[in-house]
Amino acid sequence: MSSGLRLHPAVIAAKERLTEVRSKLRSQHESGSLGVQVCTHFAESLDEVVLDLFHAAVADLDEPLRQLAVAESCVVAHSGFGRREMAPFSDIDVMFLHRAADEERLAPLVRRFSQHLYDTGMEVGFAARHPKQALQLARQDATIFTALSEARLVTGNTELFEDFRQKYSRQARWHWPALLHTLETARKEERSKFGETVFLLEPNIKRSRGALRDIQLIRWVGFTRYGESDPEALMRAGVLTKEEFKRLRNARDFLLWLRNDLHFQADKANDLLERHEQLRVAERRKYPKQEGLLPVEQFMREYFTHTSAVREIAGNVCANAAPRQWWRILTDPLFSHQFEGDYRIGPNTIYATGRGLKKLRGDTSQVLRLLDVANLYNKRVDQKTWQAIRLSMATQPPVDATEPVPDDVAKRFLSLLSTPGQLGASLRRLHELRVLDRIIPAMSHARGLLQFNAYHRYTVDEHSLRTVEAVASFQQHPGTPGQVYRSLHDKRILHLAALIHDLGKGYVEDHSELGSRQAIQLGKRLRLPLFETEQLSLLVLKHLRMSHLAQQHDINNAQVIVPFAAEVGSPEMLKMLYILTLADLTAVGPGVLNDWKQQLLTDLYEHTLTLISSESPAAQAKQRQKAQREELLLLAERYPDQPWWQEQIANLPSCCLFAGPSEQVIGELDRLRNLPHHQAMAWGRYIPQRDVVEYTVGTYEEITPGIFHRLTGTLTSLRQQILSAEINTLRRGLVLDRFYVQDQDATGAPSTQRMDEVSQALESALKNPSDKPPVFRKLWHERKQEQQAVVKHLPTRVTFDNTTAENSTILAVFAYDRMGLLYTITRTLFDVNLSVSISRIGTHLDQVVDVFYVTDRERGGKITDPGYLAHIHERLLAEIENLEQGAP
């Protein structure tokens, strides 16, 4: 018997047996065995282990009780153990089934047997129940119901088990509508926690959408609705087609193999396919070289292909199994009407008649006509109609991307794109049914295409569909984005650009340039007028332009904004580009479009709109600055020392001119006017419309070398996430630095005490400088050690731009963000004798980018010497690499 630290000999033997079995299974897996074979072999070995432990527990009982245990009870495997789909470190679920009258007498056996199971070190789900208990609990709890629907006898009274199984099946048939609802509700709750979309870039291969749990859902629905859980039996019953069965079997084999591999690699249960695991598995599977696609991207495309098939099949099975409410069966004929003989429009759905189904088979134009009618009546399309379309589309030959689509297809597709109402859902359906591929062939390449970086959360096709949905959502937006979107008379080109803007990804060439050419080809294919094709091409080509300008440049600088106004050309194009940029950021992932970025983009939009609306954008930009300086001079007349004011205002950088209301700008300058030499002052204010804190620092250049890196180090060490920084050197040696940050220790507005604390620390960093590097507090979500593989896979880049700014070199650092990165960069810039005038920090679109306007600290001006540029490049890369490696 088990007691204290002493294990029963049977338990010791079981532990040794499990170690031996897992070792053999690992060898079997590594030799290339199918996942289902490894899982089945493990389940069979577990049968033997459980049987031995049960017999050992029985052997410790008195003779009468031994006879009772053997004759009147049984050991039942259920859940994955029951299905024989046991990964190497899966939980093992066992039920001890007995007659109700024997519950008390068999209690000693239950204690011994369950203790033996737990003592093996396995994760065990154990329960002792009599049949009535099990039946009652299954009706109340979806988890118990699904588990016991997979019940399998391991040993014991066959008659008792078969009687239970018959009653269980009968109960499922009697209560199937309620049970189906319970099953689907439980699965939706699980998906909301582990991933509602198939296209998560770090999926849970058991619980995310389209994963193993959805294959199990098909089994559970089959058992509940049709009395069969095995997919092959469901195929014979007509619930699954032969093609669906084949795709489901292939997906199961792939996912079981992958789950086994994750378990063996971790040497414990692990169902999360993290980025470093994706790299490892892709290397193991030895994908052939493919231009424009990394092995890891090929692997994840294979993963998404399988999980998309599972999601689609599970959705069809659930929809077809759902009960039709009796009142709808009676009222649909009364409250529905025919539409041109091809469809019936009911209270809730639209479905095809027999004649309509014949027209829909393989005919893209008729499918689009159906969507037009559905949108016209604001009804969803019946599941069986969708299924008929899907089956017919699967057999259609590929299309020629260079040929125009039929005229009626083009007209109906463009009509669909014109209205935002059901656009997102309609395009998503067309994509699922492979209809969209026949209109936009490039969607085939984007299907399941992984963007292997740390910033996109979805695949290219999922991101594209979400961008369209984000665009359409601005119809209800109360702010500037909503006003701009609603002001567009014809939205179809904007919607089409949102759908195709990233379809150039997955090739060697820059995706915006390739996408622009794809847009021209698509315009011809859809018979768009030439000016609309040009609009579409320009939107795709420039879809990153506003984001890069707003987050990396001084948008008040005429040298930046005037060329952009010329690129855009018209207010209508600017409006579409503004909305597309907001939607693109929204669709990258949750929280990427924050209030700060939205306000930056809105400022850029409004500023550019003013320039475009004038006859001469350059003259308008100069006039805007001139008018601002005149207003500031007028406000400054009330102060003494007018020569000082005139000198400062005449030479204020553009970002200072428009840093806030004119009164605020004058107030900040007045603080600086009264600041003694060798002193510093700092103050903070919360900007609610951007959800950021602005810290302003005033001092003199003479106070200490390396002002910028000292301030960034101080802010980061106090857990201030720096979004943007402006470093301005004014006349007479004055310095005015401004940082826009989000406090990682506060939600919303930080307290006045907190802002004072940060301000005092900034002042102290300059008045009492130290060359000792700051200490950065570790975050709870600091990257795991094994995830360094992903960091190394995304190389650091340093680029120089000597053409955009008149007097500065623009230096951009593309790097994987981590604690201390910004301080490391700014300290290195100081060490290599550079002065920073403007900085944009931590943008998140395609790459994390830190941008700095720099000049030579001694000679001033741009850095043009190739040797000096190479030295800066090497030093930055070396210091960032040291940081990644944990070196000082």
Nearest Cα to Cα of residue 147 among 200, 83, 62, 190: 83
pLDDT of residue 653: 85
Q: In what order do the strands lie in the sheet with 349-352?
A: 337-339, 343-345, 349-352, 380-381
Nearest Cα to Cα of residue 368 among 420, 425, 414: 414
pLDDT of residue 380: 78
Residues constituting the chain: 888
> CA-based diameter of the chain, in Å?
110
Instruction: Please compute the mean of the pLDDT values over residues 302-311 and round it to a whole number.
Output: 92
Mean pLDDT, the chain, rounded, equals: 87
Q: C-alpha angle with apex 821: 815 to 823, nearest 5 degrees?
A: 140
| Highest mean pLDDT, choosing among 585-599, 708-722, 801-815 | 708-722
Q: Examine the pLDDT at 463 and tell me if it is beyond 60.
A: yes
The conformation of residue 434, written as its DSSP 8-state character, comes to T
Q: What is the pLDDT of residues 682-708, one digit of tens each?
A: 999 998 888 889 999 999 999 999 999
pLDDT of residue 294: 84
Report d(CA 294, CA 289) in Å as an integer: 8
Q: What are phi and psi of 474, to 5 degrees?
A: -70, -10
Report d(CA 682, CA 837) in Å as an integer: 18
Asked if 127 and 63 touch (Cβ cutoff 8 Å), the reply is: no
Q: What is the pLDDT of residues 747-784, one digit of tens each?
A: 788 999 999 999 999 999 999 988 888 877 654 344 44
What's the token pair of residue 766? 């300059």
Provide the percentage of residues in the chain whose pLDDT is more than 70: 92
Nearest Cα to Cα of residue 278 among 208, 209, 210, 202: 202
Q: Examine the pLDDT at 362 and tell me if it is beyond 60.
A: yes
The conformation of residue 120, written as its DSSP 8-state character, comes to T
Q: Which residue has the higher pLDDT, 388 or 58?
A: 58
Q: What are phi and psi of 124, to 5 degrees?
A: -115, 130
Residue 611 Cα distances to 187, 571, 627, 856, angstroms: 53, 10, 15, 33
Q: Which residue has the higher pLDDT, 660 or 94?
A: 94
Nearest Cα to Cα of residue 708 among 731, 733, 739, 734: 739
pLDDT of residue 272: 92
pLDDT of residue 127: 94
Q: Which residue has the higher pLDDT, 233 or 789?
A: 233
pLDDT of residue 421: 80
Residue type, 788: Q
Q: What is the pLDDT of residues 721-743, one digit of tens each?
A: 888 888 888 999 999 999 989 88
pLDDT of residue 610: 82
Q: Examine the pLDDT at 806 and tell me if it is beyond 60.
A: yes
Q: Which residue has the higher pLDDT, 412 or 820?
A: 412
454: confidence class by pLDDT, cuts 50, 70, 90: low
Confidence (pTM): 0.76
Q: Examine the pLDDT at 191 and tell me if it is beyond 80.
A: no
Q: Which residue has the higher pLDDT, 819 or 17?
A: 17
Q: Examine the pLDDT at 196 and tell me if it is beyond 70.
A: no
What's the token pair of residue 723? 């979004």
pLDDT of residue 159: 95
Q: Which residue has the higher pLDDT, 787 or 366?
A: 366
Instruction: Please compute the mean of the pLDDT values over residues 517-545 and round it to a whole number.
Output: 95
Q: Examine the pLDDT at 2 and tell me if it is beyond 50.
A: no
Instruction: Please compute the mean of the pLDDT values over residues 17-42 and round it to a whole number.
Output: 95
- Collapsing DSSP states into helix, strand and coil, what is residue 4? coil
pLDDT of residue 197: 58
Residue 228 Cα distances to 154, 314, 686, angstroms: 20, 15, 62
**Strands 92-98 and 124-129, bridge-based pairing:** parallel
Q: Examine the pLDDT at 622 and tell me if it is beyond 60.
A: yes
Q: Looking up tokens 């046991």, which residue turns up?
A: 86
Instruction: Please compute the mean of the pLDDT values over residues 53-71 and round it to a whole number.
Output: 89
pLDDT of residue 623: 86
Asked if 296 and 289 touch (Cβ cutoff 8 Å), the reply is: no
pLDDT of residue 342: 84
Q: What is the dihedral of CA 484, 487, 491, 495, to 10 degrees?
A: 10
Q: Examine the pLDDT at 789 and tell me if it is beyond 60.
A: no
459: confidence class by pLDDT, cuts 50, 70, 90: confident
Q: Examine the pLDDT at 670 and tell me if it is beyond 70.
A: yes
pLDDT of residue 870: 95
- Residues pairing with 720 in the sheet: 743
pLDDT of residue 449: 85
pLDDT of residue 773: 80
Nearest Cα to Cα of residue 148 among 45, 49, 76, 50: 76
pLDDT of residue 1: 45
pLDDT of residue 880: 87
Q: Which helix (H) or strand (E) holds 578?
A: helix 571-588
332: confidence class by pLDDT, cuts 50, 70, 90: low
Q: Examine the pLDDT at 397 and tell me if it is beyond 90.
A: no
Report d(CA 804, CA 853) in Å as an integer: 10
Report d(CA 553, CA 179) in Å as an integer: 58
Q: C-alpha angle with apex 165: 161 to 167, nearest 5 degrees?
A: 120
Cβ burial of 279 (10 Å; 0-12, 13-18, 19+) is buried
199: confidence class by pLDDT, cuts 50, 70, 90: low
The conformation of residue 290, written as its DSSP 8-state character, comes to B
pLDDT of residue 122: 93
Instruction: Please compute the mean of the pLDDT values over residues 278-292 and round it to a whole number.
Output: 89
822: confidence class by pLDDT, cuts 50, 70, 90: confident
pLDDT of residue 842: 62
Q: C-alpha angle with apex 794: 789 to 795, nearest 5 degrees?
A: 110
Q: Examine the pLDDT at 787 and tell me if it is beyond 60.
A: no
Q: Examine the pLDDT at 791 and tell me if it is beyond 50.
A: no
Q: Examine the pLDDT at 81 and tell me if it is beyond 50.
A: yes
pLDDT of residue 746: 79
Q: Which helix (H) or strand (E) holds 845?
A: strand 834-845
Asked if 83 and 62 touch (Cβ cutoff 8 Å), the reply is: no
pLDDT of residue 845: 41
Q: What is the pLDDT of residues 208-254, one digit of tens each?
A: 889 999 999 999 999 999 999 999 999 999 999 898 999 999 999 99
Instruction: Please compute the mean of the pLDDT values over residues 82-102 and round it to a whole number.
Output: 94
